[in-house]
Amino acid sequence: MFFYVIEGIDGSGKSTQIKILKETVMRLKLKKCFLFLFEPTNLETGRIIRSYLKNNIYLSEKEWLNLFDKDREENVKKNILPNKDKVIIMDRYYFSTAAYQAKDKSNVEKIFLYFYQKYPEPTAIFYLDISLENALERIKKRLSDQKTELEVFEKEQELKRILENYEYLEKLSIKYNLNWLKIKAKENPFRISKLILRKVFSDIQNKNKSSL
């Protein structure tokens, strides 16, 4: 299974990358070979999470983790496993859950290990690395254009904590032999998408060679 995850804090450009990748896949007439997913999902479990986030509903850490766990379980069962013959590119996975929900490093590792042991391992994780200042600048511009307010996870102190958690997740990924690939988010978006697709097509080519 060729399963890729795009990760990063809000403002890192994940949505832009997904958009460019979809357009590129369409242009190459490879739509049937690719599947684009995201978390929280568009399943009922994911819609509940999005609603709670949008309305700043308070939940305990355990309640949040249970919601994300159930949504991921449904996503794996209904979307990922039935499409193992496709290239799956997903916007966020359990790394986001650990980064956004954990209050400290020990909690990051606890959440990471729970999901790492339970769910399919990605072929690679593309982490869009961006500074807190640049992320906030992008978020403020986007929200100004949309005339909307900051969500709870887009506030400066929250983003700082999340960014630090991602830095620790990189170390954990190396420790557990996951293919964590850091990409400078300030790069040209089209250059980033080329880097991602180059890795995907290289993995497919190497797999085909090894099967000969």
- pLDDT of the residue at 143: 77
Q: What are phi and psi of 10, to 5 degrees?
A: -60, 135
Helix 105-118 / helix 156-175 crossing angle, nearest 10 deg: 50
The residues pairing with 2 across neighbouring beta strands, listed in sequence order, are 87
Residues in the chain: 212
Query: d(Cα 5, Cα 44) in Å, to the nearest integer?
Result: 22
pLDDT above 70 (res 150): no
- The verdict on domain 2-210 having CATH code 3.90.1150.10 is no
Domain boundaries, the chain: 2-210
Binning pLDDT at 50, 70 and 90, where does residue 139 land? Answer: confident
pLDDT above 70 (res 212): no
104 Rama class: left (phi>0) / alpha (psi -120 to 50) / beta = beta
Residue range 32-61: mean pLDDT, rounded? 93
- pLDDT of the residue at 116: 97
- pLDDT of the residue at 147: 63
pLDDT above 70 (res 170): yes
Binning pLDDT at 50, 70 and 90, where does residue 211 land? Answer: low
